[in-house]
Amino acid sequence: MKTKATNPLSKSLLAMASLLALAGPVPAFAQEAELPAWIDTDSERRGYDIAIRSDNSDNGFGDSRVEATMTLRNAAGQETSRQLSFQTLERADNTVGDKSVVVFHTPADVEGTALLSHAHILEPDDQWLYLPALARVRRISSANKSGPFVGSEFAFEDFTAVELNKYEHNYLTTEAITVGGETLPTDVVERFPRYENSGYSRQVSYIDQTIHQVRRIEFFDRRGDHLKTLDLGDYREYGDGIWRAHRLVMTNHQTGKSTDLVYGDFEFGVGLTDNDFVRGVLERQY
C-alpha cells in the first residue's frame, strides 16, 4: 500500500516546488504524454515528469554488451570477486520492458550461471536462471523476485526494476548529494511499486538535474525500514546523450554487507536480436 511522506516541512517544500513547477514551462514530452490515472496531485505530476525525463534520456541505445566485475563484501570487510557480462536489448516503447542476459564467467563455482530477464510493466517479469551444477533452467517465481541474486546484495527484481511505469512517482524536494567524490544537485522522487510481490514498500531516487540520470536509490523493505542504498557513479557519455554509470555500490544497512559492480566500456549496436534473449541461450557455452 502506498504511504507518502507527511513531514510538515516537506509538505511546505512540496507546495512551493509545485507552484514553481506550474509557473515554469512544461517539457514537451510531458505535454504530449498521456498521464497515468494514478496521478492526483501536483507533486505526483512533477515526480512523474522528472521520472519520464530521466527515462527518456536513456532511449535510443538499441542494444548493448559490457563486461563487469562484481565484488561481494561481508560485514567483516572480507571480499570475493566475480567476472560477468551483460547483454541488453532495448524495449520497443514504454509499454514493454527491456530484455537482458547476465552470465557469470568466474570463479569456477558460479561459472556459466546465467539469468535471462524479460521485463514487463504490471505483469510479473519473466526470469529464468541457468545453474550449470544442475544443468537445467529454472523459472524464477514472481514470489521469489525479492531474493538475493547469486549471493549479492542485488535482488532478482533489481535487474528489471528500472522501467518507468512499474511505479507511481511523487516529487519530494531537491537535495545536493555526494556520490563517488562528486557533489551535485538532484531532484528527489519517491516511487511506489505498482507490480505485485516486490520486496520493497517504496524507493527514493535522487536524479541528477544536469544529465537526468539516477545517482542514488534508497530501498525500503515491506515494513517500511531502510534496507539498502544503491549509489551510481563514474557516469560516462557514449555517443549522443547515452550515459552509463560504471560503478554501482549496493549497501545493505541491515546486514552490513555490500556489493560493488564495476563496468568496463559499453559496446552499442552489436547486432543483438530477440533470438539472443530466448530460454535456449542460457545453456550455450559462453
Q: Name the amino acid, one letter, at 40.
A: D
pLDDT for the residue numbered 224: 97
What's the mean pLDDT in 26-44? 72
pLDDT surpassing 70 at residue 36: yes
pLDDT surpassing 90 at residue 146: no
pLDDT tens, residue by residue, 224-270 = 999 999 999 999 999 878 999 999 999 999 999 999 999 999 999 99
Beta carbons of 164 and 187 less than 8 angstroms apart: no
Phi first, then psi: give them for residue 199, nearest 5 degrees.
Answer: -80, 0
Instruction: Band the pLDDT of 15: cuts 50, 70, 90.
Output: very low
d(CA 145, CA 125): 9
* Helix 42-56 vs helix 8-23: crossing angle, to nearest 10: 70
Residue 160 or residue 193, greater confidence: 193
Sole residue written with cell 516511487: 191
Instruction: Band the pLDDT of 25: cuts 50, 70, 90.
Output: very low
- Mean pLDDT (the chain) is 84
Model-level pTM?
0.82
Burial class (CB in 10 A: 0-12, 13-18, 19+), 219: buried
Q: Name the amino acid, one letter, at 166.
A: K
Sole residue written with cell 550449470: 132
